[in-house]
Amino acid sequence: MAATRPPKEENAVWETVSVIIQALLLAVVLRTFLFQPFNIPSGSMKPTLLVGDYIFVSKWSYGYSKHSFPFSLGPFEGRVWEGIPERGDVVVFKYPNDTSKDYIKRVIGLPGDTVQMRDSVVYVNDKAVTRGEQGVFVDEGSRRSTPIYIETQDSGRSYETIDFDPGTVADNTEAFVVPEAHYFFLGDNRDNSADSRFDVGMVPAENLVGKAQVIFLSLKDGTPAWQIWNWPSDMRWDRIFKGL
């Protein structure tokens, strides 16, 4: 008796399932080793990043750790192919006190550095980071305005910061010594950022997830990304493809 062929419907279902599995595996590989998207839920990095920005983070920039994998389920400890962040890089990292949470801040202190805030000015190894006023930032929600300050690292790397309330506890701190294999982070919104001055503390190198590279989508605060019909009116078009 001749063998019977499986029904065409069964073949079609299996082919569909196979394509879906392959697509999911490809997505996991891309997310783990190349790029991972993140959205910005808080204002701690204003004016550089706004609530409603969606960014791509390069996973290879600083090498890989267990936190590079979904749910931090990497099969090894430490980092492989480790790269060293530069002062001024915007980095996604795992919150040291709860590695299920992702934070995004700017690298200010490298291993061995001493970092301190004095009257709103950042000092690294007892040398002030150059800071100059340039322009005004108007908060999208509260409509409060404040000067924009341009900080410039010795490397020439410049970025914008804001300071709504000079003279607060956030603007005058103790001197922090960064341990080996750790980094010191600050938010660009200096009066509204949980960072290395406070409960975040020093971030282990193993906790680095990747370097923020570009904004690929930006929607006004409160607009869900899935509401595509609101994109034309709520999109911040001038922020699309803005490099970080």
pLDDT digits (tens, 9 = 90+) for 141-178: 889 999 999 999 999 999 999 999 888 999 999 999 99
Cis upstream peptide for 47 (omega within 30°) = yes
Q: Average pLDDT over the chain, rounded to whole?
A: 90
Point out the catalytic residue in the list 44, 68, 193, 196. 44
CATH no., domain 36-239 = 2.10.109.10
Q: What torsion do the CA atoms of 166, 171, 172, 174 make, to the nearest 10 degrees?
A: 170
237 three-class SS: helix
Q: Point out which residues pair with 212 in neighbouring strands.
A: 57
Contacts of 222 (CB under 8 A, 6+ apart): 52
**Measured distance CA(92)–CA(103) in Å, rounded:** 6
- Write the DSSP assignment of 130-190 as a string of letters: EEEEEEEEE-TTT--EEEEEEEE-TTS-EEEEE-SSTTSGGGS-PPEEPPTTEEEEE-SBT
The pLDDT of residue 12: 66
Q: What are the tokens at 234?
A: 């709520």
Domain extents in the chain: 36-239
Averaged over successive runs of 10 residues, the pLDDT of the chain (244 residues) comes to: 56 69 64 82 96 95 90 84 94 97 98 97 97 94 92 95 91 97 98 96 97 96 89 95 95
Which of 46, 66, 94, 105 is catalytic? The answer is 105
For the four alpha carbons of 237, 143, 107 and 207, in that order, the dihedral sign comes to: negative
Residue 105 annotated as catalytic:
yes
242 has catalytic annotation: no
pLDDT of residue 58: 95
Q: How many helices (H) and strands (E) does the chain have?
A: 2, 14
Question: Rounded to whole angstroms, what are the CA distances from 108 to 17, 71, 228, 229, 231?
Answer: 47, 27, 37, 40, 35
* pLDDT score at 32: 63
